[in-house]
Amino acid sequence: MKYDFDQVIDRSGNRASKYDERVMKFGTDKVIPLWVADMDFKTAQPIIDACVKKAEEGIWGYTSRPASYFEAVKGWEKRRNNWDVDTSLMSWSLGVVPALSVLVKIFSHTGDKVMIQTPVYSEFYDVTEAWEREVVENKLVEENGTWHIDFEDFEKKAKEVKIFLLCSPHNPLGIVWSREELQRMADICIANDVLLVSDEIHSDLIFHGKKHIPTATLSPEIAGKVISCVSATKTFNLAGLQASTTIFPNLEMKKKFDRFWMNMDIHRNNAFSSVAMEAAYNEGEEWLEQLLEYISGNFDYIKEYCDKYIPKIKPSVPDATYLVWLDCRELGMDNEQLRSFMIEKAGLGLNEGYTFGRSLSGYMRLNAACPRSVLEQAMKQLKEAVETL
C-alpha cells in the first residue's frame, strides 16, 4: 500500500512526550518539537492491525513470548543484514538504553572506566555514571564538516577501560561505520580485553547507498567478544511499547543479563509490544522502504534551504538515523545563548549539542522525521530568526 507521510497528525494531548513535555524541557509549548528521536508518522498498517486485533480481544493478562518472537528478529537480521543469529543467544529487555545500563552494571565494577565516542547521545554518559563508573571519551575529530575516529587516542584509552560502548550507526552524527573502521575498533578491544557493546538501534535507518554491518558479523573471533543491542522501536516508531533484543556471544553472559531482569520480575513483553514487534519484523518492510525515501527527501530539503537562505548554519546530511546535526558556530553564540535563541527567537525545540559531547559548543540536533510541511515552517522560522541578528 502507499503510505502518506505528508499527513500532519495532532499529537498534542495524546501523551506524546515529544509534545506534552515541551514546557518541562523548553519552558514553553510554543515551539515546534524537533528533539527526542520519535517520528511524527503513523507506523506500518500491519502493526496497527495487529495491535487493534489484540485490543479487541479485551483480555491483556500476563503475556508469554512464543518462539516466533525471536524468530522474527532472526529473519529480519538475515534478510536485511545477512546476519544469521542464534535465537538461543537473544534476550528481551525494555529497551536498548535499559539494556546498556544493565550491561555496564553487570560486566564492570564501581570505579571501572567505560569508553564512549563523543559527540554521542547523552544516555551513554548516563548509563555509565549512574553505576559510578568513569566515562572515558574518545572524541571524534571534525574536519570540514566530516567526523572521523582518532585511532591513536582510541588505542591509548582502550588500555585503561573495561567496556567500550559503540554507537553503530552513530547518533547524532549519522555515520555508518565502514568494515575497516569496525574491524580496527574491534581488534583493539580484543587486544586489550575490552568488552565491546554495540548499540545498533538505528541500523535499519540507512541512506545514500550505505550498508550497515553488524559488528558481530566481522569475524568469528569478534563475534565471541561482542554484545549487540537491536530493536524495531526506532525503525517503526514503537518506543512507547518498550521492547528490544540483546544478542550475546555465549549463554553464560546471557544468563547473567536475564538474571538481573528476573530478580526485578521484569521479563515479559506487554501484551501489545509482543504482537507489534512480530508484525514489524515480518510485515513492515514495505512501509520502511517508503519511509526511507521520504526522510531522505527531508534531509535534502534542509540542506538546500540552509545553503540558500541560512548559510551560517551548516547541517549534516546523515547516512543513518533521521537526525540532523547542525553546526551553528558561525552564529557566534555560547551554548546557553544558542539554546535561548532557538527557543525564543526561532520557536524551535531542538536538542542541545553539548549534551552529546560536554566540551562542545555551537551545535544542535534536529529531528527530521516529520511531515515536510512541518520542516518548511521550522526552516522559515529559523531563517527569520537568523535575519534578526
**What is the residue extent of each domain of the chain?**
17-44+286-387, 61-283
* Per-residue confidence (pLDDT) for residue 7, from 0 to 100: 97
* Per-residue confidence (pLDDT) for residue 101, from 0 to 100: 98
Task: Give the type of residue at 68.
Answer: S
CATH match for 61-283 among 3.40.640.10, 3.30.200.100, 3.40.50.150, 1.10.3720.10: 3.40.640.10
* Per-residue confidence (pLDDT) for residue 108, from 0 to 100: 98
Residue 101 phi/psi, 5-degree rounding, is -60, -45
Q: Do the strands 146-148 and 141-143 form a parallel or antiparallel pair, or are they unpaired?
A: antiparallel
* Per-residue confidence (pLDDT) for residue 240, from 0 to 100: 96
* Per-residue confidence (pLDDT) for residue 267, from 0 to 100: 94
d(CA 119, CA 122): 8
* Per-residue confidence (pLDDT) for residue 243, from 0 to 100: 97
Helix, strand, coil content of the chain in percent (nearest 5): 45, 15, 40
* Per-residue confidence (pLDDT) for residue 272, from 0 to 100: 97
Residue 172 preceded by cis peptide, ω within 30: yes
- Is the distance from CB of 212 to CB of 203 less than 8 angstroms? yes
pTM above 0.95, yes or no: yes
CATH match for 17-44+286-387 among 3.40.50.800, 3.90.1150.10, 3.90.1480.20, 3.40.640.10: 3.90.1150.10
DSSP character for 131?
Answer: T
* Per-residue confidence (pLDDT) for residue 180, from 0 to 100: 98
Give pLDDT < 50 ranges for the chain.
none
DSSP labels, 118-149: SS--THHHHHHHTTTPEEEE---EEETTEEE-
* Per-residue confidence (pLDDT) for residue 145, from 0 to 100: 87
